[in-house]
Amino acid sequence: MDKQRQHHLFQTIVEQHKGIMFKVARLYCAAEDDRQDLIQEMLIRIWHALHRYNDEYKMSTWLYRISLNVAISFYRKSSSKKVNFIPLNDSIIDFPSEEKSEKEQNLNLLEQFISELKELDKAVMILYLEDKSHGEIAEILGMTVSNVGTKIGRIKDKLKTRFSQIKS
């Protein structure tokens, strides 16, 4: 793949699938600064892996793999690494301030629950919330479809218990 085509493909991927990076970063990083660094790291890894992209996989599967792998490994990076980063647009993340509704409360509960999960369980959780099929989740994680079903079942049970505990 020539450089110009690679660059064009990179821009297209980033524009069309930025939501994947954003959502993964949101689940793994609480602080906005860390989140921007994480997205930056994902972009660098996507760029470096682009020549290895194999179209037997869906683009979203490939991107989830990179984004999740980078996010899970991200704790290794220290603040000193920031000097090598190109700053992203400051206004990339905007949290709308709305009245606290029941929906918002539920969302807070959900996010709190997710933040307590271990790294690999978080990966399963985001793919489940994104409504991915068990087959696709298995392909992204590298496990069997039946194991995916078991894992999701267990996380859902924990989630249900958690919701009912807090609400009661």
The SS3 call for residue 158 is: helix
The yes or no reply on residue 7 touching another protein (CB under 8 A) is yes
Among 23, 134, 158, 162, binds another protein (CB under 8 A): 23
* Cα–Cα distance measured from residue 67 to residue 163, given in angstroms and rounded to the nearest whole number: 28
The yes or no reply on residue 161 touching another protein (CB under 8 A) is no
* Cα–Cα distance measured from residue 17 to residue 21, given in angstroms and rounded to the nearest whole number: 7
> CA-based angle 11:85:64, to the nearest 5?
50
* Cα–Cα distance measured from residue 80 to residue 59, given in angstroms and rounded to the nearest whole number: 32
Please state the closest distance from residue 76 (CB atom) to another protein, in A. Answer: 5
The yes or no reply on residue 99 touching another protein (CB under 8 A) is no
* Cα–Cα distance measured from residue 123 to residue 24, given in angstroms and rounded to the nearest whole number: 8
Binding site for another protein (CB under 8 A): 3, 6-7, 10-11, 14-15, 18-19, 22-23, 26, 39, 43-45, 47-49, 52-53, 62, 65-66, 68-70, 72-73, 75-76, 78, 80-81, 84, 86, 88-89, 91-96, 103, 106-107, 110, 118-120, 123, 129-131, 139-143, 147, 150-151, 156, 159, 163
